[in-house]
Amino acid sequence: MDIQNTQSQMRKGVLEFCILSVIRQGEVYPSDIVDKMKAANLNILEGTLYPLLTRLKNAGYLTYRWVESNSGPPRKYFVMTDEGLAFYETLESTWKELADAVHALTQPIEAEHNNTL
């Protein structure tokens, strides 16, 4: 079994949630999303990000506005819609349940034994 493939699949599973987490903080330009993801050690390429943003926009979870730039073409800034916020809250709840379950299952046996005493 290829560990790099497994690691990649695990990251892909949380990518959408992480991107929405960044956008939820406020209006954002795609390269800012890339930078924040890199800072959190979740590297993402713009070639992966843009199709995800388009899919989230088409689902009604994001909207965008064009902002003129002094140093080039206009920039597209994304923001979460009310529907996107509701979707995010569902993902956040699911993530917390999953993280709690994984945490419970990955605790050493000694810790489990000490909790029952």
Convert the pLDDT of each residue in 41-99 to its tens digit.
998 988 999 999 999 999 999 999 999 988 889 999 999 999 999 999 999 999 999 99
Answer whether residue 108 shows pLDDT above 90. no
Buried/exposed code over 3-24 (b: 16+ C-beta within 10 A; e: otherwise): eeeeeeeeeeeebbebbbbbbe
Rounded Cα distance, 49 and 1, in Å = 27
Q: Which of 14, 20, 1 is nearest to 94 (CA)?
A: 14
- Stretch 4-8: mean pLDDT: 86
Answer whether residue 17 shows pLDDT above 70. yes
- pTM assigned to the model: 0.82
Answer whether residue 18 shows pLDDT above 80. yes
As a whole number of Å, the end-to-end CA separation of the chain is 39
Rounded Cα distance, 101 and 107, in Å = 10
- What pLDDT score was predicted for residue 10? 85
Is 20:56 a contact under the CB 8 Å cutoff? yes
Q: Which of 17, 83, 93 is nearest to 52 (CA)?
A: 17
How does DSSP classify residue 29?
-
